Amino acid sequence: MTIAQEVRILLARLGVAESAYTGGTMPSFSPVSGEKVADIVVHSADETGKAIELSQAAFREWRLVPAPKRGELVRLFGEELRALKSELGRLVSIEAGKIPSEGLGEVQEMIDICDFAVGLSRQLYGLTIATERPGHRMMETWHPLGVVGVISAFNFPVAVWSWNAALALVCGNSVVWKPSEKTPLTALACLAIFERAAKRFGDVPAGLAQVIMGDRTVGEALVDHPKVALVSATGSTRMGREVGPRLARRFARSILELGGNNAGIVCPSADLDMAVRAIAFGAMGTAGQRCTSLRRLFVHESVYDTLVPRLKKAYESVSVGSPLDTSALVGPLIDKAAYENMQKALSEAVETGGIVTGGKRVDTGHDNAYYVRPALVEMPKQDGPVTKETFAPILYVMKYDDFDEAIVDHNAVGAGLSSSIFTLNLQEAERFLSPDGSDCGIANVNIGTSGAEIGGAFGGEKETGGGRESGSDAWKAYMRRATNTVNYSSALPLAQGVSFDI
């Protein structure tokens, strides 16, 4: 069976109408073999506008449904995801090139956020605030916001949407999703699964969750539409630089989840067995195509000559191959452009004095599929390509002797997403987590940079955009806050002792 044939079978099982992915103008490829698997029907500007209008109408109804009842819809969605986990996970592997456990893991992440959102639907707590005026009560309430636009990247084709959608829906919003043009099929599948849940729920307004297909121009239409209250945009920093100001111009809200250039520090006391495993997963897992992938490593000079040879061995022996029919740990890059970017960065690294292990293309018999052996590059210092994100499995390794300087170098890049330290020394660990330690949104101790759980707020600082999604109090970004003061006395005292007697 070809991949294209398997895709059709999976999409039929997942309930996706054939008309959505045949005869359209946007070809869709599988990075596993490079073959074309579908022709996606895209949305015109007019259709995008109509989808947003429908979403606005759906929001008006949905905001009046009690939050715990809204949670029931998300609970049913989670149930449907559980039932179709293997099919959707497999489609993620085919479309994004993830190994099976990661394809399934992404769907598990969707299930987890649904569970979280269901609980949250009974906990959208406001505050009661002490007021200075007698006979008054002051409080803070949270209300639904409006149409939430979601723009997502290819590398987490389903989880990122669900982080946003599950929270947005329990918060009383409607959702319009522009998935990556590189991963449209999994988006169609998610919507079909959502529709099953909506049917079981019964009374869901038409257009409560929609998907709009196309390239960045469709994303731009979503960003510019006056009826979209919030856009949660996940992708490159380049994309965020365009989207952020456009949203700011019309005072719309944004959650920006952009690129990372994540680093780890390996200290003299580190458990090196643990560090090797964590570094290998963080840097080579998902073929280096996670926003949280480990890209820079600072190793103390006292352990450098022990750790780096062990890492090199892991790089030379890690299995690279098809995520569908081998037990490989490293699947393909998404496309040719990703491969070329990787080779360009490696050439620049060599010009900057780097020594490269790995990085060459691995022949799998598919001319249009791009498999590479992950690259470990020993660098004399943090310079050239080390300072920017290349979305490929390249790990730059540098030696340090002074902990303070290692922290300065760690923070001396544009992005601020994820970070980790490997140490058994309490002072180093706590310093790394302190105000003058890591400047990232995620800072870990004795854990790699990637593989976050949904319970924490996810996102990063600086060029990563500052947005937060998923757990903790990230839900607040999907609601509007109102401060209410009620006077239950028969007087009208003014705040700050102001008098205005007429």
Q: How far is CA 252 from CA 142, 161, 216, 230, 237, in A?
A: 18, 19, 19, 6, 19
Three-class SS state of 211: strand
Among 101, 108, 131, 236, binds ligand NAD (CB under 6 A): 236
Could you give the string, one character per residue 160-199, with x where binding to ligand NAD holds by CB under 6 A and - elsewhere?
------------------x-xx------------------
156 makes contact with ligand NAD (CB under 6 A): yes
Type of residue at 179:
P
**Is there binding between residue 215 and ligand NAD (CB under 6 A)?**
yes
- Pick the closer one to ligand NAD by CB: 124 or 218: 218
**Both structure tokens of 447:** 């854990």
Please count the residues of this chain forming the interface with ligand NAD, following the rule CB under 6 A.
29
Q: How many CA atoms lie within 13 A of 295 on its CB side?
A: 28
Distances (CA, A) of 191 to 212, 365, 374, 413: 11, 34, 34, 38
**Ranges within 265-304 binding ligand NAD (CB under 6 A):** 291
Taking the least distance from each CB to ligand NAD, the nearer of 37 and 212 is: 212
Q: How far apart are CA 337 and CA 460, in angstroms?
A: 26
For the bound state, the minimum distance from the C-beta of residue 257 to ligand NAD, rounded and expressed in Å, comes to 3
Residue of 73, 209, 212, 239 interacting with ligand NAD (CB under 6 A):
239
- Catalytic-residue membership of 257: yes
Of 420, 447, 429, give the one whose Cα is nearest residue 295: 420
Of 399-458, binders to ligand NAD (CB under 6 A) are 417
Asked if 97 is part of the footprint of ligand NAD (rule: CB under 6 A), the reply reads: no
Residue 251 burial class via C-beta count within 10 angstroms: exposed 0-12, middle 13-18, buried 19 and up: exposed
| Residue 170: partners with Cβ closer than 8 Å, 6 or more residues away | 67, 70, 71, 74, 117, 118, 120, 121, 124, 475
If one asks whether residue 151 binds ligand NAD (CB under 6 A), the answer comes out as: yes
User: Binders of ligand NAD among 382-401, rule CB under 6 A?
Assistant: 389, 391
Nearest to 400 by CA among 391, 409, 387: 409
Residue number with CB closer to ligand NAD (90 or 182): 182
Q: How far apart are CA 287 and CA 245, in angstroms?
A: 32
Stretch that binds ligand NAD, among 128-136, 165-173, 214-222, 472-480 (CB under 6 A): 214-222
What part of residues 28-57 is at the interface with ligand NAD (CB under 6 A)? none
Contact between 259 and ligand NAD by CB under 6 A: the answer reads: yes
Return the number of the residue (183 or 382) whose C-beta is nearest ligand NAD.
183
Q: What is the CA radius of gyration of the chain?
A: 24
- Please tell me which residue in 87, 95, 257, 378 is annotated as part of the active site: 257
Two tokens, residue 138: 């002051």
Other beta carbons within 10 Å of 108: 17
In the bound state with ligand NAD, the residue whose beta carbon lies nearer, of 265 and 417, is: 417
Nearer to ligand NAD, 357 or 419 (CB): 419
Closer of 65 and 167 to ligand NAD (Cβ) = 167
Task: Report if residue 257 touches ligand NAD, rule: CB under 6 A.
Answer: yes
**Rounded to an integer, what distance in angstroms lies between the CA atom of residue 203 and that of residue 287?**
43
With beta carbons less than 8 A apart as the criterion, state whether 211 and 191 touch. Answer: yes
In the complex, minimum distance from the CB of residue 357 to ligand NAD, in angstroms, rounded to a whole number: 24
What is d(CA 153, CA 131) in angstroms, rounded to the nearest whole number? Answer: 46
Q: Which stretch binds ligand NAD (CB under 6 A): 81-89, 152-160, 264-272, 368-376?
A: 152-160
Our finding on whether 211 is near ligand NAD (CB under 6 A) is no
- The reply to whether 219 sits near ligand NAD by the rule CB under 6 A is yes
- Residue 154 sits in the site that holds ligand NAD (CB under 6 A): yes
Give the alpha-carbon dihedral of 437, 442, 443, 446, to 10 degrees.
-170
> Residue 260 in contact with residue 415, Cβ under 8 Å?
yes
- Looking at the Cβ atoms of 21 and 403, the one nearer to ligand NAD is 21
Residue with tokens 């989880």: 159
By annotation, the residues acting in catalysis are 257
Q: Which residues bind ligand NAD (CB under 6 A)?
A: 151-156, 178, 180-181, 215-216, 219-220, 223, 234-236, 239, 242-243, 257-260, 291, 389, 391, 417, 464
